[in-house]
Amino acid sequence: NAGVMQNPRHLVRRRGQEARLRCSPMKGHSHVYWYRQLPEEGLKFMVYLQKENIIDESGMPKERFSAEFPKEGPSILRIQQVVRGDSAAYFCASSLARRDTQETQYFGPGTRLLVL
């Protein structure tokens, strides 16, 4: 059973470009979470999605960031008009059921975004 997959693993963008980060959850998992890790810091929650629904996006910046988890295909975190401050590692996690039933979140390897 493959783990959580993220691609690309590394992404370089110039200021003003768009970044698209993909996450395929573990097989059978329908809950996806995105976290951001700035250098020398812990992970910060961004958004929680289920298939075709955004459950909680309270950790997402109000502008330029969006996320989706379509019925078919991976979850996508999209950052428009990237700025240098967006440079970070973005991690996706998935769980079998809703988090508050104490299901473990399994993390992907992350996408490291560098904005030049």
Partner 1 sequence: SQQGEEDPQALSIQEGENATMNCSYKTSINNLQWYRQNSGRGLVHLILIRSNEREKHSGRLRVTLDTSKKSSSLLITASRAADTASYFCATDRNDYKLSFGAGTTVTVRA
Closest CA to 65 of 93, 35, 43: 35
* Interaction between residue 99 and partner 1 (CB under 8 A): yes
Q: Applying CB under 8 A, which of residues 21, 23, 33, 115 lies at the interface with partner 1? A: 33
Compute the C-alpha angle 11/5/10, nearest 5°.
15
Q: Which stretch binds partner 1 (CB under 8 A): 22-30, 32-40, 66-74, 78-86?
A: 32-40
User: Contact residues for partner 1 (CB under 8 A)?
Assistant: 4, 31, 33, 35, 40-45, 48, 55-56, 59, 91, 98-100, 102, 104-110, 112
